[in-house]
Structure 1
Amino acid sequence: MTKSNIEIRTRDGVAKAGLFGTGPNGCGVILYMDAFGPRAALDAMASRLAGQGYLVLVPDLLYRSGPYGPYDAKTAFSEEKTRGELMAMISGTTQAMSQRDTAAFVEALDSAGARGPIGTVGYCMGGARALNAAAAFPERIAAAASFHGGHLAADTPDSPASNAAKIKARVYVGVAGIDQSFPPEQSGRLAEALRRAEVDHIIENYVGMRHGWAVPDHGVFDADGAERHWRRLTTFFGEALRG
């Protein structure tokens, strides 16, 4: 699938991004990356999604930190130096920053030929950002998905659970069965918040999967679990964006 390397001007600087797909594809999708930066593994995932007929944007969410990585997803958090670098960049990029950036991401998709509703999907740290994007732009984002996203129902004003009342999109959350960043009590709080907000949603537990299972260069990647994630995501976007 064709990839174009582009630069997106935001309120805080310039974010590099990969754009996958050709021509006016109707629906655009923003893929919110995990912590390790844009790289071949995410390119392959975006290309596969673009093969379904979507125009897919993969922006660098950590661009404010200047040049970095990409990091080895198998070892970055186990090595003290790279772990410190990653944690500093992640903590320095707030949910509010990513929500502001999303306005520019939507404009980039529009300029590339996307029309109509937009979908978002996020992995790991990108999961909460994909859901919060739907809260920030309810008039454009019609489908928002998170896979092994962390802290989705943290007791903070910027968690997706806290912003559930602003979401008009359909929501899918694929939960890692073993994930300290999203324990069962948070899953329950998120489900309650979405139900109270009357958000059309599914929260699905991938039993035995670990945080990061769906991304192919993670050490805990699970091929069967990843294919299950692709089936769910393809169906979800097909129904919510094209239905």
Structure 2
Amino acid sequence: MAPQADLREPGAREAFFASGVLDRVAALTPDRSGPDAEAWVRALEEHAGDGPIGVTGYCMGARLAVRTGGQLPGTVAAVGGFHGGGLVTDAADSPHLAIAASTAEYAFGHADQDRSMPLEQVEALEQALQAAGRPHLNEVYAGAAHGYTMADTSMYDEAAAERHFAVLQGLLARAL
């Protein structure tokens, strides 16, 4: 799913998305990603020992991180999601619904110029976090575009990327 071209070049971004990458992303349903999450956590525990872990995701990875937090309560203590899209949907397996089963602390940094996570979805995510009683930050980064942490793209926003690093470090320090 990784781009093979520099997405800052004219037409490269459009070509990347026309390649079917979004179909592959949509196919990563909980029944497909859940067993992988369990296997990764088992492998991590074999090497690092038992104990709370943190998971973080960017873009579609934020959905996977949120689902993993709900899938492995008591193990996942921190969930970070940055410029994540599709965290709230009308589907029965919407990622935000996993928050209710989790025991994690959450930190989200949304881009205010992100069509994949509009402000009404950010608010619905906030409601889910509050309803679950989970400690959290659920912030919108003004002026940031989807992909703001990716220094090798035209979406990169240094101020938003640095803010996200500070938020993520704080989350991990508190939760782990």
TM (norm. structure 1) is 0.67
Task: Select which of 151, 158, 173 maps to 1:238.
Answer: 173
Match of 1:176 among 83, 90, 111: 111
> Any conservation in 1 of the 2:69–2:99 contact (CA below 8 Å)?
no
Match in the other structure for 1:194: 129
- Deviations 1:140-168, CA, capped at 9 Å, x for gaps: 10000100000111111222222221111
Distance in 1, Cα, partners of 2:41 & 2:166: 25
Shift of 1:216: 1.6
**1:140 and 2:75 correspond:** yes
Give a deviation string over 1:105-127, Cα, whole Å, max 9, x none.
00111222244111000000111
Q: Which has the higher strand share?
A: 1
Judged with a 3 Å threshold, the aligned counterparts in structure 2 of structure 1 residues 123 and 73 are, in CA distance, closer, same or farther, namely farther
What amino acid sits opposite 2:79 in the alignment?
Answer: A
| Letter paired with 2:14 | S
Aligned to 1:229, which of 141, 164, 167? 164
Give the match's secondary structure for 2:79.
strand
1:105 aligns with 2:40: yes
Structure 2 counterpart of 1:96, from 19, 31, 52: 31
Instruction: Answer yes or no: is the 8 Å Cα contact 2:108–2:137 preserved in 1.
Output: yes
Q: Does 1:84 align with 2:19?
A: yes
CA contact (8 A) 1:171 1:201 kept: yes
- Give distance in 1, aligned partners of 2:34 and 2:6: 27
Contact 1:96 1:158 in 2 (8 A): no
Structure 1 residue ranges without an equivalent (≥5): 1-35, 38-68
Partner of 2:60: 125
Q: Distance in 1 between matches of 2:122 and 2:31?
A: 22
| CA deviations over 1:19-57 (Å, ceiling 9, x no partner) | xxxxxxxxxxxxxxxxx43xxxxxxxxxxxxxxxxxxxx
8 A contact 1:76–1:83 mirrored in 2:
no
Asked whether the 8 Å contact 2:65–2:81 carries over to 1, the reply is yes
1:231 is displaced (CA, Å) by 0.9
User: In structure 2, what is the Cα distance between the partners aligned to 1:155 and 1:84?
Assistant: 26
Taking the aligned partners of 2:118 and 2:137, their CA distance within structure 1 comes to 17
- Which residue is equivalent to 2:152? 217
How many residue pairs get aligned? The number is 174
Q: What is the SS of the residue equivalent to 2:174?
A: helix
- Inter-partner Cα distance in structure 1 for 2:156 and 2:28: 26
Is there any run of 5+ residues in structure 2 with no aligned partner, and where?
none
